[in-house]
Structure 1
Amino acid sequence: MAAADTTNIEPIRAEHVESFHRALDAVSRERKYLSFLEAPPLDAVRAFVLDMIENNHPQFVAVADGEVAGWCDIRRQDRATRAHCGTLGIGILPAYRDKGLGAQLMRRALDSARQCGLHRVELSVHADNARAIALYEKIGFVHEGRARDAVLIHGRYIDSLNMAIILGN
């Protein structure tokens, strides 16, 4: 079983797209953590990644044995009044969880967001995802609200928690 210290954390590059797509699809199909039930088509994922790169949005991947094992991205809001804010997304393949990889990815992405001039980073998390909530709290995210019955998976409504961190300069 791979450990976080056998992976490389690096900025995403175009050559990661197919592996990132596979990882996104695997985590999406768990139908527990992401808003996707499956990954978008490969062309849409490629366009997303290339846009992130072109616009200097922080996006890091954990690469193990040449494959993406996890990712963390922060997309800057596009409205002028919200351009100081970013939205965080993260996912880790099951075999790489509980090894500190999520924290490493988040710290790299948040450091990059700070360097890019972001002031605030937001995320939403399913209220039943205790492991992720504990990680976000450890990193410094605070609870800002609850959206009741915000997610419907397998016929079950799940609340979504809104969390954010203010980045120091």
Structure 2
Amino acid sequence: MAQTAQQPHNVNGEWRGLPDSITIPRIFGEMVTLRPATLDDLPTMDDLNAYHGASGITGKDRKAEKSAVRAWVQRSIAWQEGRSSEREGIRDPEERGTIAWTITRREDDANPDCAGIMLGMIFLIDIDGWSRSARIQVILGEEYRGRGYSRDAMPRVMAYGFADTPEGLGLHRIWVSVPAKNTRSISVYQSLGFMLSGTSRDALWDNSLGKYQDLMVMDTLVDEYDPISSLEAFGMHWIEGNPGIQKALDSHRRAVEQRKHAHCAAKDAVDSASSAQSSTMNPDVSNTAPADVAQSHKLTVQPDITPEIPADATPDATNSENRWPYNAAGHNASKKAWWRTLGARRSESRKLSMNDDK
């Protein structure tokens, strides 16, 4: 992300602004590929019925949601081309950047013919260079909701947002806003590491219920968000070559080491307390243990080693060793993670329900 020579927000040698132009990277997931959105993608959003239920999902009515998406794509394209959105010689001094990606289906062994099918869009909106914050939003076609695509795409976009410039945006905070009644999205955001930071009371009009509803604001910060853990929690892998992945891996390994040190310290404290209690109850026992006994009580910590995954590898090709995170707890999980068949199972459930109704 190349910055321009003129830097009006260069404060004490620190750049706190946005560049005049940006190169939007392609980002790869296990189920999806993200590419820069184009105006030609907008009609497909209508075909996907992507604005269905907008008032309950984002708090906007269908017309406003559609207009917002068009504006976001236009702003994203303009930023790529180095064009501002100023009109009639007037420029908003608080104008903020927007990046729009189109979400497409990535090829996999189960559905090789579905590669390239458009699923929806994902955005970084209100990118504020001064405060280094941005809002993230996903809009999927009605048919593709609840199948794990958001969980695949969001951590990878956030890794890019939190990565240092020029590889990423150098953000400090990423946030979301969601209507209070949209408990499904709130649950997804919580599972991804977002925390509730505030509530805007009666900020939205719920037309279906004919009353106002609250808007929940959730966020996460660069020094507390772990995209690797977010992916592993759902049986997904990080992909080498994605922007921001190295910083995410480094942060993840530091967090793992900190947890290990904390575990060791807690264990040492328990052992010390137990030893002191034993000495008090048995005063004739020597406090000096033989060297071989002391050695046998050492806690051996295995290093956190994560195998690298080629950028062009398919999920099945890289999954020769099952790294489903719950295996450590003794579960015999399938190499086919739950989200690969979730949509199919949901469809089957609907069919069964329909048959039962008949």
Q: TM-score, normalised to structure 2's length?
A: 0.40
- 1:26 alignment partner in structure 2: 49
Say whether 1:88 aligns with 2:136: yes
- 1:70 alignment partner in structure 2: 120
- After TM superposition, give the deviation of residue 21 of structure 1 in Å: 4.5
Candidates 42, 54, 61, aligned match of 2:102:
61
Say whether 1:158 aligns with 2:158: no
Is the 8 Å Cα contact of residues 99 and 124 (structure 2) preserved in structure 1? Answer: yes
- After TM superposition, give the deviation of residue 41 of structure 1 in Å: 8.0
Candidates 158, 181, 192, aligned match of 1:139:
192
- After TM superposition, give the deviation of residue 157 of structure 1 in Å: 1.1
The farther-off stretch of 34-43 and 153-162 is: 34-43
Task: State the identity as a percent.
Answer: 19
- After TM superposition, give the deviation of residue 121 of structure 1 in Å: 0.4
- 2:41 alignment partner in structure 1: 17
Unpaired segments ≥5 residues, structure 2: 1-28, 83-96, 106-113, 164-168, 224-246, 248-358
How much is the aligned-residue C-alpha RMSD, in angstroms? Answer: 3.0
- 2:334 alignment partner in structure 1: none
- After TM superposition, give the deviation of residue 76 of structure 1 in Å: 4.6
Whole-angstrom distance in 1 between the partners of 2:219 and 2:58: 17
Candidates 40, 44, 48, aligned match of 2:67:
40
Instruction: Give the secondary-structure state (helix, strand or coil) at the position aligned to 2:58.
Output: coil
Structure 1 or 2, whichever has the larger Rg, is: 2
Equivalent position amino acid for 1:61 in 2: T
Give aligned pairs, total.
162
- After TM superposition, give the deviation of residue 15 of structure 1 in Å: 6.0
- After TM superposition, give the deviation of residue 42 of structure 1 in Å: 8.2
Q: TM-score, normalised to structure 1's length?
A: 0.78
Whole-angstrom distance in 2 between the partners of 1:96 and 1:79: 33
Candidates 26, 32, 49, aligned match of 1:8:
32
Is the 8 Å Cα contact of residues 52 and 59 (structure 1) preserved in structure 2? Answer: no
- After TM superposition, give the deviation of residue 160 of structure 1 in Å: 0.7
Whole-angstrom distance in 2 between the partners of 1:68 and 1:159: 32
Greater relative contact order, per chain length (Cα 8 Å cut-off, separation 6+): 1
Whole-angstrom distance in 1 between the partners of 2:138 and 2:173: 16
Residue by residue, what CA displacement relative to the aligned partner does 1:10-30 show, whole Å, maximum 9, x if unpaired?
12232653246437x833342
The 3 A distance-change label for structure 1 pair 17 and 49 is farther
- 2:146 alignment partner in structure 1: 98
Is the 8 Å Cα contact of residues 37 and 102 (structure 2) preserved in structure 1? Answer: no
Residue by residue, what CA displacement relative to the aligned partner does 1:78-135 show, whole Å, maximum 9, x if unpaired?
462x2x1111111222211221101112112101101220110011111111110111
